[in-house]
Protein backbone atom coordinates (compact mmCIF):
# COMPACT_ATOMS: atom_id res chain seq x y z
CA UNK A 1 0.00 0.00 0.00
CA UNK A 2 1.45 3.37 -1.03
CA UNK A 3 0.21 6.53 0.61
CA UNK A 4 -0.12 9.90 -1.07
CA UNK A 5 -1.02 12.93 1.03
CA UNK A 6 -1.66 16.33 -0.55
CA UNK A 7 -0.89 19.35 1.64
CA UNK A 8 -2.57 22.38 0.13
CA UNK A 9 -1.02 24.73 2.73
CA UNK A 10 -2.68 28.20 2.81
CA UNK A 11 -4.08 28.05 -0.70
CA UNK A 12 -7.52 28.00 -2.29
CA UNK A 13 -11.04 29.36 -2.08
CA UNK A 14 -14.31 27.46 -1.76
CA UNK A 15 -14.71 27.41 -5.55
CA UNK A 16 -11.11 26.30 -6.12
CA UNK A 17 -11.35 23.56 -3.49
CA UNK A 18 -14.54 22.23 -5.05
CA UNK A 19 -13.07 22.33 -8.56
CA UNK A 20 -9.84 20.63 -7.51
CA UNK A 21 -11.63 17.86 -5.59
CA UNK A 22 -14.12 17.31 -8.39
CA UNK A 23 -11.21 16.80 -10.83
CA UNK A 24 -9.76 13.93 -8.78
CA UNK A 25 -10.75 10.38 -9.73
CA UNK A 26 -11.09 7.60 -7.17
CA UNK A 27 -7.60 6.37 -6.21
CA UNK A 28 -6.00 3.46 -8.06
CA UNK A 29 -5.99 0.07 -6.35
CA UNK A 30 -3.37 -0.19 -3.64
CA UNK A 31 -3.03 3.58 -3.15
CA UNK A 32 -4.29 5.45 -0.10
CA UNK A 33 -4.94 9.10 -1.02
CA UNK A 34 -5.64 11.93 1.45
CA UNK A 35 -5.93 15.66 0.83
CA UNK A 36 -5.33 18.28 3.53
CA UNK A 37 -7.09 21.55 2.64
CA UNK A 38 -7.04 24.63 4.87
CA UNK A 39 -9.46 24.22 7.79
CA UNK A 40 -12.12 26.54 6.39
CA UNK A 41 -12.24 24.53 3.16
CA UNK A 42 -12.65 21.09 4.77
CA UNK A 43 -16.40 21.08 4.30
CA UNK A 44 -16.21 22.29 0.70
CA UNK A 45 -13.67 19.57 -0.08
CA UNK A 46 -15.70 16.95 1.76
CA UNK A 47 -18.69 17.58 -0.45
CA UNK A 48 -16.70 17.36 -3.68
CA UNK A 49 -14.18 14.52 -3.19
CA UNK A 50 -14.72 11.23 -5.02
CA UNK A 51 -15.27 8.10 -2.94
CA UNK A 52 -12.01 6.71 -1.63
CA UNK A 53 -10.08 9.96 -1.21
CA UNK A 54 -9.86 10.87 2.44
CA UNK A 55 -9.59 14.21 4.23
CA UNK A 56 -6.81 15.33 6.54
CA UNK A 57 -5.85 18.47 8.45
CA UNK A 58 -2.59 20.42 8.25
CA UNK A 59 -2.34 20.80 12.03
CA UNK A 60 -4.22 19.96 15.21
CA UNK A 61 -4.55 21.52 18.66
CA UNK A 62 -2.87 20.02 21.70
CA UNK A 63 -6.08 20.63 23.70
CA UNK A 64 -9.41 18.82 23.54
CA UNK A 65 -11.69 21.87 23.75
CA UNK A 66 -12.72 24.80 25.94
CA UNK A 67 -11.50 28.37 26.32
CA UNK A 68 -8.72 28.23 23.72
CA UNK A 69 -9.49 30.92 21.15
CA UNK A 70 -8.43 29.95 17.66
CA UNK A 71 -7.67 26.31 18.41
CA UNK A 72 -9.16 23.49 16.33
CA UNK A 73 -9.23 20.21 18.21
CA UNK A 74 -8.90 16.59 17.20
CA UNK A 75 -12.61 15.89 17.92
CA UNK A 76 -13.56 18.85 15.69
CA UNK A 77 -11.36 17.57 12.88
CA UNK A 78 -12.88 14.09 13.16
CA UNK A 79 -16.34 15.68 13.09
CA UNK A 80 -15.37 17.52 9.88
CA UNK A 81 -14.44 14.21 8.28
CA UNK A 82 -10.65 14.16 8.77
CA UNK A 83 -8.88 10.86 9.31
CA UNK A 84 -5.38 12.26 9.84
CA UNK A 85 -3.52 15.41 10.79
CA UNK A 86 -0.05 16.60 9.86
CA UNK A 87 1.90 17.38 13.02
CA UNK A 88 5.22 19.20 13.27
CA UNK A 89 5.42 20.38 9.66
CA UNK A 90 8.59 22.46 9.28
CA UNK A 91 6.54 25.52 8.32
CA UNK A 92 4.79 25.29 11.69
CA UNK A 93 8.06 24.61 13.49
CA UNK A 94 9.64 27.70 11.91
CA UNK A 95 6.70 30.08 11.43
CA UNK A 96 4.62 28.98 14.41
CA UNK A 97 7.61 28.48 16.71
CA UNK A 98 6.52 24.92 17.51
CA UNK A 99 9.02 22.81 19.43
CA UNK A 100 9.19 19.07 19.95
CA UNK A 101 7.45 19.33 23.34
CA UNK A 102 4.38 20.98 21.79
CA UNK A 103 4.49 18.59 18.83
CA UNK A 104 4.52 15.67 21.30
CA UNK A 105 1.39 17.06 22.98
CA UNK A 106 -0.31 17.33 19.59
CA UNK A 107 0.46 13.69 18.81
CA UNK A 108 -1.02 12.67 22.13
CA UNK A 109 -4.16 14.74 21.40
CA UNK A 110 -4.53 12.80 18.11
CA UNK A 111 -4.13 9.48 19.91
CA UNK A 112 -6.67 10.37 22.61
CA UNK A 113 -9.33 10.71 19.94
CA UNK A 114 -8.37 8.27 17.19
CA UNK A 115 -7.01 10.77 14.66
CA UNK A 116 -3.91 9.48 12.82
CA UNK A 117 -0.91 11.81 13.26
CA UNK A 118 1.58 12.22 10.42
CA UNK A 119 4.73 13.37 12.19
CA UNK A 120 6.92 15.50 9.92
CA UNK A 121 10.65 15.72 10.57
CA UNK A 122 13.54 17.10 8.54
CA UNK A 123 16.84 18.92 8.66
CA UNK A 124 17.52 22.48 7.52
CA UNK A 125 20.05 23.35 4.83
CA UNK A 126 22.52 24.48 7.51
CA UNK A 127 22.15 21.22 9.42
CA UNK A 128 22.69 19.28 6.20
CA UNK A 129 25.82 21.32 5.45
CA UNK A 130 27.33 20.70 8.86
CA UNK A 131 26.69 16.98 8.65
CA UNK A 132 24.13 16.75 11.45
CA UNK A 133 21.19 15.42 9.40
CA UNK A 134 21.11 11.98 11.05
CA UNK A 135 21.40 13.40 14.56
CA UNK A 136 18.68 16.00 13.90
CA UNK A 137 16.22 13.44 12.53
CA UNK A 138 16.86 10.97 15.35
CA UNK A 139 16.52 13.70 17.98
CA UNK A 140 13.25 15.04 16.54
CA UNK A 141 11.72 11.56 16.52
CA UNK A 142 13.14 10.57 19.91
CA UNK A 143 11.98 13.71 21.72
CA UNK A 144 8.45 13.57 20.34
CA UNK A 145 7.91 9.85 20.99
CA UNK A 146 9.67 9.78 24.40
CA UNK A 147 7.46 8.10 26.97
CA UNK A 148 4.63 7.35 24.53
CA UNK A 149 3.46 3.77 24.10
CA UNK A 150 3.21 2.53 20.50
CA UNK A 151 0.19 4.03 18.71
CA UNK A 152 -0.95 4.56 15.12
CA UNK A 153 1.55 6.82 13.36
CA UNK A 154 2.81 7.75 9.92
CA UNK A 155 6.14 9.50 9.57
CA UNK A 156 7.10 12.02 6.87
CA UNK A 157 10.70 12.81 6.01
CA UNK A 158 10.64 16.38 4.75
CA UNK A 159 14.10 17.93 4.34
CA UNK A 160 13.45 21.63 4.94
CA UNK A 161 15.78 22.62 2.10
CA UNK A 162 13.72 20.58 -0.36
CA UNK A 163 10.33 22.09 0.50
CA UNK A 164 9.00 24.45 -2.14
CA UNK A 165 12.43 24.91 -3.68
CA UNK A 166 12.19 22.61 -6.68
CA UNK A 167 15.34 20.95 -5.34
CA UNK A 168 14.10 17.55 -4.21
CA UNK A 169 16.25 15.15 -2.24
CA UNK A 170 17.92 12.42 -4.26
CA UNK A 171 16.57 8.89 -3.79
CA UNK A 172 19.80 8.20 -1.85
CA UNK A 173 19.16 11.16 0.50
CA UNK A 174 15.62 9.88 0.92
CA UNK A 175 16.71 6.31 1.67
CA UNK A 176 19.22 7.47 4.26
CA UNK A 177 16.79 9.82 6.01
CA UNK A 178 14.06 7.21 6.09
CA UNK A 179 16.45 4.60 7.49
CA UNK A 180 17.44 6.99 10.29
CA UNK A 181 13.79 7.77 11.03
CA UNK A 182 12.82 4.09 11.05
CA UNK A 183 15.69 3.31 13.43
CA UNK A 184 14.67 6.13 15.77
CA UNK A 185 11.04 4.92 15.85
CA UNK A 186 12.27 1.36 16.49
CA UNK A 187 14.39 2.62 19.37
CA UNK A 188 11.39 4.36 20.95
CA UNK A 189 9.04 1.45 20.24
CA UNK A 190 11.20 -1.70 20.08
CA UNK A 191 8.31 -4.16 19.94
CA UNK A 192 6.11 -2.28 17.47
CA UNK A 193 5.82 -3.09 13.76
CA UNK A 194 7.44 -0.54 11.40
CA UNK A 195 5.40 2.60 10.73
CA UNK A 196 4.81 3.93 7.20
CA UNK A 197 7.28 6.65 6.23
CA UNK A 198 6.55 9.13 3.43
CA UNK A 199 8.92 11.50 1.62
CA UNK A 200 8.03 15.18 1.06
CA UNK A 201 9.84 18.06 -0.62
CA UNK A 202 9.42 19.15 -4.27
CA UNK A 203 7.68 15.91 -5.26
CA UNK A 204 6.23 15.96 -8.79
CA UNK A 205 5.18 13.36 -11.36
CA UNK A 206 8.66 13.08 -12.90
CA UNK A 207 10.50 12.33 -9.65
CA UNK A 208 7.95 10.68 -7.36
CA UNK A 209 8.42 7.02 -8.32
CA UNK A 210 12.12 7.13 -7.44
CA UNK A 211 11.23 7.91 -3.82
CA UNK A 212 9.36 4.65 -3.37
CA UNK A 213 11.31 2.51 -5.87
CA UNK A 214 14.82 3.53 -4.74
CA UNK A 215 14.25 5.80 -1.75
CA UNK A 216 12.47 3.33 0.50
CA UNK A 217 9.47 5.64 1.02
CA UNK A 218 5.97 4.29 1.53
CA UNK A 219 4.55 7.20 -0.42
CA UNK A 220 4.73 10.97 -0.70
CA UNK A 221 3.63 14.13 1.09
CA UNK A 222 2.98 16.50 -1.78
CA UNK A 223 2.79 20.29 -1.45
CA UNK A 224 2.71 22.45 -4.58
CA UNK A 225 1.91 19.62 -6.98
CA UNK A 226 -1.19 18.70 -4.96
CA UNK A 227 -2.79 22.00 -6.08
CA UNK A 228 -2.51 20.95 -9.72
CA UNK A 229 -5.14 18.28 -10.38
CA UNK A 230 -3.30 16.77 -13.35
CA UNK A 231 0.00 16.52 -11.45
CA UNK A 232 -1.61 15.12 -8.31
CA UNK A 233 -3.60 12.55 -10.30
CA UNK A 234 -0.40 11.52 -12.12
CA UNK A 235 1.45 11.03 -8.81
CA UNK A 236 -1.43 8.92 -7.44
CA UNK A 237 -1.50 6.86 -10.64
CA UNK A 238 2.26 6.26 -10.52
CA UNK A 239 1.90 5.15 -6.89
CA UNK A 240 -0.42 2.43 -8.12
CA UNK A 241 2.07 1.07 -10.64
CA UNK A 242 4.03 -1.97 -9.54
P1 LIG B 1 6.40 21.05 -1.87
O2 LIG B 1 5.93 19.75 -2.48
O3 LIG B 1 5.69 22.25 -2.41
O4 LIG B 1 7.88 21.15 -1.86
O5 LIG B 1 5.95 20.99 -0.32
C6 LIG B 1 6.26 19.87 0.43
C7 LIG B 1 5.57 19.95 1.72
O8 LIG B 1 5.87 20.77 2.55
C9 LIG B 1 4.47 19.00 1.95
O10 LIG B 1 4.05 19.02 3.27
- pLDDT of 96 above 80: no
Residues in a beta bridge with 155: 119, 197
Q: Which residues contact 161 (CB under 8 A, 6 or more apart)?
A: 123, 124, 125, 128, 167, 201
Ligand 1 atom nearest to 86, measured from its CA: 10
| Best of 86, 201, 206 for a ligand 1 pocket test (most atoms within 8 Å of beta carbon) | 201
Mean per-residue pLDDT of the chain: 97
10 Å CB burial of residue 120 (0-12, 13-18, 19+) is buried
pLDDT in tens, 218-237: 999 999 999 999 999 999 99
Q: What letters, b where the CB count within 10 A reaches 16 and e where it falls short, cover 172-188?
A: ebbbbbbebbbebbeeb
Give the DSSP H/E element, type plus range, for residue 46: helix 42-48
Residue nearest to atom 2 of ligand 1 (CA): 223
Q: Is the CB of residue 166 less than 8 Å from the CB of residue 156?
A: no
**DSSP string computed for 92-113:** HHHHS---HHHHHHHHHHHHHH
> Which residue's CA is the nearest one to ligand 1's atom 9?
223
Express each pLDDT in 97-145 by its tens digit: 899 999 999 999 999 999 999 999 999 999 999 999 999 999 999 999 9
Say which residues have a Cβ less than 8 Å from residue 237's Cβ, sequence separation at least 6. 28
Please tell me the residue having the least CA distance from ligand 1 atom 1: 223
Query: Is 204 one of the annotated active-site residues of the chain?
Result: no
Q: Where are the domains of the chain?
A: 2-241
The domain made up of 2-241 has a fold known as TIM Barrel (3.20.20)
Amino acid sequence: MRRIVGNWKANGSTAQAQALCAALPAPPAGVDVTVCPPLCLLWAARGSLPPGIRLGAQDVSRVDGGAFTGEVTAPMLLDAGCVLALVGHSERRQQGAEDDALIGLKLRACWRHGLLPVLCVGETAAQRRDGSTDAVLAAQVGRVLAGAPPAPLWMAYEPVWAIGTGQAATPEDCARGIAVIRAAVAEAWPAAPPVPCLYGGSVHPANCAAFWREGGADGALVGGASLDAAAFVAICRLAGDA
